Structures are given as structure tokens and as C-alpha cells.
Amino acid sequence: MIPDPSLADAFCRMATGGGFGTRKLHTNAEEVLFDVTRPCLLNGIPDLASRADLADRAIIVHLPVISGSERRFERELWDDFDQAAPAILGALLNGVSCAMANLEAVTLTERPRLADFARWITAAETSFGWAQGSFLETYAENRNRATLAAIESNPVAEATLALARAETTWGGTATELHAMLRNRFPLTCADAMTFPKDAARLASDLRRVQPLLRNQGISLTFARHGKEGVRQIVLECA
């Protein structure tokens, strides 16, 4: 798990494009802007994409185990890479050329998060010998696995999903939902470090996990009811 939630936000902004402004020098008020758009590679043993926004933008790859007899020296690895590099570059350039030729003709049945990325890869499918539409299918499966892993590591998402599936439709205040989750799923909500201590924090965490729940067919909405405008949370299972 990424220890600092702000890191997940930073990775998301960098992957999709973002920037920030700061003073050019500490001695004056002139502002300089930095714009960054770069793919990010995260490596680790546990599931790193535990935040909903990061999980929905991630491609999860589980690498095979390398046995002791198959491990290689770094020099051998780089020698083989240097030999393969021209062919790798050629394949990538063929992919870009194919994508540029087919881009305007691509029609996506679904526009996922990172829709432009999905459109470009779909346009390049034939250059890599992939069946038409296979990338979107694989991408959807990967995102679903990432979503499930993120739910399993998030007590709020896990308990709310279980409640919505059990009740089909539920509505009430954040305070009522907080009590309901703690009573119905005591083991999931027992850890004070991972489950919100009060209703206000629960409402905030629910907004963060909305994409995860939506991916599993759960609609979560915040609304005001009655003359007094009481804030209510509504869960609906499709």
C-alpha cells in the first residue's frame, strides 16, 4: 500500500496530465508553471493501487517467479537488450504509424478512464497482431481485478458493498450508515486505524470509494431531503 495518500494523487495527476505553479525565485512574486504528463511505473509486493482513483488508472501486471537457475547477470541482460532494441523500436514505431492511420476510424463501445489512451491502443491493435477489440476486453478485465483488490483493502468500500448487495436499496444519514456498518460488519469495521471514527469521516471516505462501488454496480448518491434539508446517503444495487 502507498503509505502517503498524497502520493496516489500525485501519480494520478502525472499519468493524466497536471501541473503546479510556484514562485520563480524566493525574492519575487513572479510565477513559473510546470506541466507534466508521464506514465508511472510502481513496483511492490502488496497491491499498491489501493486508492480508487489510482486503481481505475492502473494496469496491473503480476510477473512470473524467476527460479535460481534462470536468473541472469546484469551484463547478460543488457547485452541481449541491446541486440533486441532495434526490433523493439521498430515494432513501437509500426504501432504509432498504424494508430495514426486508424485513429479517426476507431469507435469505442465504452470510454473508460484514460479514454484517449484506450483509443490509441485500439487503433494500433492490428500492427501487434491482436484481434479487433481485444485490448478493451483485456483492459476492462484488468481494471476489474484492480478494483476488487482495492475494495478488499478498504474496509469502507468492502462493508458498504456488502450492505448494498444485502439490502438492494438503503437510505439514511451518515450517522445511521456509520452505526449500521459497525453493527452488521464488526470484524471489517473493527480497526480504528482503517475505518472512520465518526460519520463525517465516513461520508468523506465514501466519496473516495464511489468509483469502486460504481464499478461493482452500486450507485451511491448524496442528497438532501425534507424541509430541513437533512443530508442522506442512498445506496442502490443494480
pLDDT tens readout for residues 148-188: 888 888 899 999 999 999 998 999 999 999 999 999 999 99
Do 26 and 49 fall within a single domain? yes
Please write down the long-range contacts of 126-129, taking CB distance under 8 Å and 24 or more positions apart: 126/98, 126/102, 127/91, 127/94, 127/95, 127/97, 127/98, 127/99, 128/91, 128/95
* 60 located within any domain: no
Do 187 and 135 fall within a single domain? no
Number of domains observed in the structure of the chain: 3
- Report, as ranges of residue numbers, the positions in the chain whose pLDDT lies below 50: 1-3
Range of the structural domain that residue 23 is part of: 5-55
pLDDT tens readout for residues 104-133: 999 888 888 888 989 999 999 999 999 988
